[in-house]
Amino acid sequence: MKIIDLSQTLSSEMPVFPQDPDFLLKEILNSKKDDFTISVLNTGLHVGTHLDAPYHFYSKGRKVLEITLNEFMGPVKMVDVENSLRKSSSISNSYTGIETDPGVAIKASAFKNVKKGDIVVLKTGWSLKWGLKNYFTHNHYLSQQAANFLVKKEIRGLAIDGPSTDKFGETIIHKILLSNDIWIVENLKNLDLILPSKNEEETNSDNYDDNNNNKSLEFFFIPLPLKTEASPIRAFVRINEK
Ligand SMILES: [Zn+2]
């Protein structure tokens, strides 16, 4: 059994979404000079790897605590679009952090193998740009057709290795998914440790197929018990050899 952590480290140095409040973690007592250490955390909830619950956009939508833990764990459908995005974006240096082209819209056809009730984990490769200038503004995002397709398929949740399911400055994809009670996880990392990035020559399947593998993968996206619209989460995968 092996565990891979898919969560970004929460620290005062980490980048936060433009115009979101900073993450401030501060020790107000320290065991070296005081009897013990006590810290205070002041933060927005959309920091690091986090969950957006339907209440984020809909006053009648479910809050984090109203989604059962059951719904946040289990096998997932992993959809790997990293290689096709590299080809369709006009830039060859898209992962070096110096490009300024906007991200690419991911098409519905990428999700052709998704089934009802799936948790979908979308690998775009964007987490490699965490900490770089364009991370929050030039990410890849879902097309409206893709979002509507996932709604039709009645997926449980969608987790992505980028800052948003939307193009920067837009919210339509959040609205489509959350209004249909599909939760969203953003800012995953380490997906390449599960599904290594392919070479140019390898163009076979873009989907992880559990059946063709001698391993089974169980994912966990664990939020804090908060009665509100979002929560930082600990995301990880447990890999069991069959
Ligand atoms: Zn969010």
Convert the pLDDT of each residue in 106-158 to its tens digit.
999 999 999 999 999 999 999 999 999 899 999 999 999 999 999 999 999 99
Phi-psi region of 74 (alpha: psi -120 to 50; beta: other; left: phi over 0): left
How far, in Å, is the centroid of ligand 1 from the Cα of 65?
16
CA distances for 150 relative to 111, 132, 142, 144, angstroms:
8, 30, 10, 10
Give me the helices (H) in the chain, please.
82-88, 144-152, 172-178, 191-194
pLDDT digits (tens, 9 = 90+) for 36-86: 999 999 999 999 999 999 999 999 999 999 999 999 999 999 999 998 887
Domains of the chain: 2-7+45-241 (3.50.30.50)
How far, in Å, is the centroid of ligand 1 from the Cα of 208?
26
User: Which amino acid does the sequence have at 178?
Assistant: L
CA distance linking residue 29 with residue 40, whole number of Å: 10
CA distance linking residue 210 with residue 113, whole number of Å: 12
For the beta carbon of residue 20, count every other beta carbon within 10 angstroms.
14
pLDDT at 84: 86
CA distance linking residue 18 with residue 44, whole number of Å: 12
pLDDT digits (tens, 9 = 90+) for 155-205: 999 999 999 999 999 999 999 999 999 999 999 999 999 988 765 444 444
Helix (H) or strand (E) holding 236: strand 230-241
pTM of the predicted model over 0.75: yes
CA distance linking residue 109 with residue 155, whole number of Å: 15
How far, in Å, is the centroid of ligand 1 from the Cα of 231?
8
How far, in Å, is the centroid of ligand 1 from the Cα of 239?
27
How far, in Å, is the centroid of ligand 1 from the Cα of 202?
33
CA distances for 63 relative to 18, 53, 101, 102, angstroms:
24, 6, 35, 32
How far, in Å, is the centroid of ligand 1 from the Cα of 138?
16
Question: b/e per residue, 180-211, with b = 16+ CB within 10 A?
Answer: bbbbbbbbbbbbeebbeebeeeeeeebbbeee
CA distance linking residue 95 with residue 130, whole number of Å: 10
CA distance linking residue 28 with residue 50, whole number of Å: 26
How far, in Å, is the centroid of ligand 1 from the Cα of 196?
26
pLDDT at 214: 76
pLDDT at 102: 75
CA distance linking residue 239 with residue 242, whole number of Å: 9
CA nearest neighbour of 20 among 224, 232, 165, 183: 232
Q: How confident is the model at residue 90 (pLDDT cuts 50, 70, 90)?
A: low
pLDDT at 107: 96
How far, in Å, is the centroid of ligand 1 from the Cα of 221?
14
